């Protein structure tokens, strides 16, 4: 930053200080520490079966000068699988990621088959863009999953029958293009539900959009 700064004469310097982060426990409930460095910091855990990660927990906040203990549950983990996890934090001065850490989930009980998986998939985020469009132009649904799952998209007008679309989707980001001349102009509600291989169903995510004449 240039000196002097502002109308008056002043002296001093601003020390850039991105947050410090560290993983203290790699597990289904990941734990770590965030040192915000006197600013407001946001943080989340990234996880996946490779160092590309692909999934993350929701952002949370921490503040102050001293290290803050943080933790989060990692949703949608499969049994008997090795996962990579890291902690990422950001403040106005920059973003810092911890070293990679790994852990392995417990194996499925013998004879349990697919029914041993009782963890439902999570739709981490969902959006539709554009939200207002003409039929011939269409729109795109984007969503992020905690694990591989089949996503059923139910589109319902204010009055009339619902239309259902299905897509096999992977953990992480996905998208589904919607172009149709069968839907009439008007307002619609879209509901997304993900179902994994063990038939566990996610909580629904609901979006709205409008088709112009």
Q: pLDDT of 53-64, one tens digit each?
A: 999 999 999 988
| Per-residue model confidence (pLDDT) at position 40 | 85
What confidence tier does 139 reach under pLDDT thresholds 50, 70, 90? very high
> What six digits make up the tokens of 188?
């619609």
Q: Among 75, 111, 82, which residue's Cα sits nearest to residue 200?
A: 75
pLDDT at 68: 92
Q: Would you say 207 and 192 are in contact if contact means Cβ atoms under 8 Å apart?
A: yes
- Among candidates 33, 42, 24, 31, which has minimal Cα distance to 95? 42
Render pLDDT for 170-193 as a digit per residue (tens, 0 to 9).
Answer: 999 999 999 877 788 999 999 999
Arithmetic mean of pLDDT, 32-52: 91
Q: What is the pTM for the complete model shown? A: 0.49
Query: Comparing 112 with 78, which gets the higher pLDDT?
Result: 78
Question: What pLDDT is recorded for position 39?
Answer: 73
pLDDT surpassing 80 at residue 149: yes
* CATH 2.60.40.2550 matches 123-212: yes
CA distance 35 to 41: 8
pLDDT of residue 14: 55
20-109 CATH pick, 1.10.287, 2.60.40, 1.25.40, 2.20.200 = 2.60.40
Please, where in the chain does CATH 2.60.40.2550 lie?
123-212
Q: Cβ(30)–Cβ(71) under 8 Å?
A: yes
Q: Residue 1: pLDDT above 50?
A: no
């Amino acid at each position: 930053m240039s000196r002097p700064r502002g109308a008056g004469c002043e002296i001093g310097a601003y020390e850039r200080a991105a947050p410090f982060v560290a993983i203290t426990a790699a597990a289904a409930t990941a734990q770590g520490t965030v040192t915000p460095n006197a600013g407001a910091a946001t943080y989340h855990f990234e996880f996946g079966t490779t160092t590309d990660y692909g999934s993350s927990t929701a952002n949370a906040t921490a503040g102050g000068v001293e290290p803050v203990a943080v933790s989060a549950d990692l949703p949608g983990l499969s049994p008997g699988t090795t996962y990579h996890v890291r902690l990422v934090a950001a403040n106005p001065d920059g973003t810092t990621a911890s070293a990679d850490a790994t852990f392995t989930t417990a194996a499925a009980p013998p004879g349990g088959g697919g029914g041993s998986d009782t963890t439902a998939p999570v739709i981490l985020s969902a959006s539709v863009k554009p939200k207002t469009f003409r039929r011939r132009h269409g729109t795109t649904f984007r969503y992020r999953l905690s694990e591989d799952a089949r996503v059923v998209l139910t589109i319902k007008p204010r009055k009339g029958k619902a239309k259902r679309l299905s897509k096999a989707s992977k953990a992480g980001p996905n998208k589904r293009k919607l172009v149709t001349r069968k839907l009439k102009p008007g307002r619609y509600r879209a509901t997304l539900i993900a179902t994994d291989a063990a038939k566990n169903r996610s909580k629904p995510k609901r979006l709205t959009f409008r088709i112009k004449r």
